[in-house]
Amino acid sequence: MKNALENIQAGHFRYLKEEDIQTPLSFVKEFCSFETEVETFREEVHFLINAATTRKSDFNGKFYVNSEDYAYNLRQMISVVEVLWILHHHPILQFNISETHPLYQKPPQKRAGIDVQKRINNNVANFRKLEDREINDISIFLDEFFSYRNLNEWRELLDDLLTYAYTNDSIFDGTTLLYESVAIREYLEKMAEAVFLIADISFKHLESSDQTKTESEEKTNLATTVPLEETSSDHAQETLPLNDDNFTESLVAYLNKFWSHLEEESNYHYGAIMFSEELEKELLLYFETFDPTFLNRNFRRVYMGYLEHLFDTGTPYYHQELRIFTAHMDTFFELLDLAAEETAHWPQENRLGREED
């Protein structure tokens, strides 16, 4: 590895140490295993961008102090960009995966884009921005990422984001960056996912494959000792409560990944948490009371009416917050679509809106 990177010097990097340069995968493993989690890192990216692109004073002139973590989060982001640059230019390391790999994504046949429901039901639930082809070969994303901006330009942009995070102005005020705002946000969120995808490919699924093999062997040995009558179809059906009014695994996974902030009252951050029994009961009661299709239809009416009002009155000054709100509504509509499928076998007669045409 040292010979492969002999033309790269520590002076090219701001935060990476010499050992990080020589063994970049060791940095990736340390960062993804002990420093942070993918959803937390994603939110740190969002928080910094949001702080840099919005005004911090209200109509009364009151200035709201921002988080003291922005500077530390910036260091994390630049470190990740630097290590991705090394991995992108490494002549030996490859991260493309075969069709038999547990993370491999088969592109959808019917439509372009990401199949969200398929994502949340397999091993790539945390990667909702990377395209299927980018997951299968992350070098595709790295090529585009560093073609869009080189290493120095990404560091300069991140430095500017930090500066504007602590001032009342928006980084997009009077600059051409406004036209790049969506692309910048997408690239940086994909950057956060990319480093964790590389960690999963390089470490997590290498280790889990060995464990799965051992567990499979143990189950095979155990199966030979189970009496034949205990494996009958009648017994198997008794252990599958298909009509039980509980969330299915796919719906729980979706709620955990996209709506975990419901568990906190304030100052939340996203992460892999389990829902409390009280919150689960409230959500169950909500979907038992209201038909998700009815909710979806009427929330869309309200939302489209709101957008129509905006089109009539012109784009408001809070257009950046509007983009974020739109993304949240999109996720909410996906939740209602999934809830309609997952609760179709529940009793329907008492659901409000069920009979609406």
User: Which tens digit of pLDDT belongs to each residue from 264-286?
Assistant: 443 433 333 345 566 666 777 77
pLDDT at 69 (0 to 100): 84
Among residues 53, 191, 209, the alpha carbon closest in space to that of 123 is found at 209
Task: Give the whole-angstrom CA distance, residue 193 versus residue 128.
Answer: 8
Task: Tell me, yes or no, whether 229 lies in a domain.
Answer: no
pLDDT at 242 (0 to 100): 29
pLDDT at 58 (0 to 100): 64
DSSP 65: P
Task: Tell me, yes or no, whether 39 lies in a domain.
Answer: yes
Please indicate, yes or no, whether residues 86 and 142 belong to a single structural domain of this protein: yes
Please indicate, yes or no, whether residues 57 and 187 belong to a single structural domain of this protein: yes
Please indicate, yes or no, whether residues 256 and 180 belong to a single structural domain of this protein: no
Number of domains the chain contains: 2
Residues of the chain with pLDDT under 50: 1-4, 208-245, 261-274, 356-357
Task: Give the whole-angstrom CA distance, residue 27 versus residue 133.
Answer: 25
pLDDT at 31 (0 to 100): 96
Q: What phi and psi values does residue 352 have, to the nearest 5 degrees?
A: -70, 135
Task: Tell me, yes or no, whether 220 lies in a domain.
Answer: no
Please indicate, yes or no, whether residues 307 and 166 belong to a single structural domain of this protein: no
pLDDT at 154 (0 to 100): 97
Please indicate, yes or no, whether residues 192 and 304 belong to a single structural domain of this protein: no
Predicted TM-score (pTM) of this structure: 0.57
Task: Give the whole-angstrom CA distance, residue 326 versus residue 12.
Answer: 39
Task: Tell me, yes or no, whether 219 lies in a domain.
Answer: no
Task: Tell me, yes or no, whether 142 lies in a domain.
Answer: yes
Q: In the structure encoding, which two tokens stand for residue 50, read together?
A: 């949001």
Residue 225 has a CB neighbour count (10 Å cut-off) of 6
Task: Give the whole-angstrom CA distance, residue 23 versus residue 8.
Answer: 12
Among residues 172, 16, 137, the alpha carbon closest in space to that of 81 is found at 16
pLDDT at 233 (0 to 100): 36
What are the helix (H) ranges across 166-232?
A: 181-199, 205-223
Please indicate, yes or no, whether residues 149 and 198 belong to a single structural domain of this protein: yes
Please indicate, yes or no, whether residues 269 and 162 belong to a single structural domain of this protein: no
Q: In the structure encoding, which two tokens stand for residue 199, read together?
A: 């960690």
End of a domain among 207, 232, 259? 207
Task: Tell me, yes or no, whether 232 lies in a domain.
Answer: no
Q: Return the residue matching tokens 């690239």.
A: 187
End of a domain among 207, 229, 257? 207
Task: Tell me, yes or no, whether 152 lies in a domain.
Answer: yes
Structural domain span for residue 299: 241-342
pLDDT at 290 (0 to 100): 80
Task: Give the whole-angstrom CA distance, residue 185 versus residue 176.
Answer: 15
Please indicate, yes or no, whether residues 25 and 171 belong to a single structural domain of this protein: yes
Q: What phi and psi values does residue 30 have, to the nearest 5 degrees?
A: -65, -45
Please indicate, yes or no, whether residues 23 and 138 belong to a single structural domain of this protein: yes
**What separation in angstroms does the CA of 126 have from each of 41, 85, 101, 129, 250?**
11, 22, 17, 9, 14
Please indicate, yes or no, whether residues 154 and 277 belong to a single structural domain of this protein: no
What are the helix (H) ranges across the chain?
A: 18-22, 24-30, 38-52, 70-89, 116-120, 132-136, 139-148, 151-165, 181-199, 205-223, 233-238, 249-258, 277-289, 292-313, 319-342
End of a domain among 207, 227, 253? 207
Task: Tell me, yes or no, whether 216 lies in a domain.
Answer: no
Q: In the structure encoding, which two tokens stand for residue 19, read together?
A: 């050992």
Please indicate, yes or no, whether residues 168 and 81 belong to a single structural domain of this protein: yes
pLDDT at 320 (0 to 100): 62
pLDDT at 181 (0 to 100): 85
Please indicate, yes or no, whether residues 27 and 81 belong to a single structural domain of this protein: yes
